[in-house]
Amino acid sequence: MKKLLSILLLIVGCGIFEAEGNCVLLNTETNTNHCYPQTPEAQCKSDAEKSETIMIIYWGENYNCNEFCNSQIPDEICEIH
């Protein structure tokens, strides 16, 4: 019985935890990048879909927010949240 309960908890638990990465959203009205560290991909997509002026630039773990913002053209604004 304990094995069955452990397996059930493992299966249910796998769906709860989502991988987190860095989410970079672009506000097309202000031409400002907003970087959100440790954000699940679903949350990043959901935030972008809430507004017609917001679009996803990047989601993943290849860059951290400091690296991403430092790689931007000097005229572009990049904020870390």
- C-alpha 24: how far from its chain's center? 7
The residues spanned by each domain of the chain are 19-80
* Gap between the Cα atoms of 55 and 4, Å rounded: 44
Closest CA to 58 of 50, 72, 16, 73: 72
Q: What one-letter code names the amino acid at 40?
A: P
Q: Sorting pLDDT into bands at 50, 70 and 90, what band is 59?
A: very high
Question: pTM to 2 decimals?
Answer: 0.74
Query: Tell me: the pLDDT tens digits for 17-58?
Result: 678 999 999 999 999 999 999 999 999 999 999 999 999 999
For 11, the enclosing helix (H) or strand (E) is: helix 2-16
The two three-digit tokens of residue 4, written as one number: 């069955």
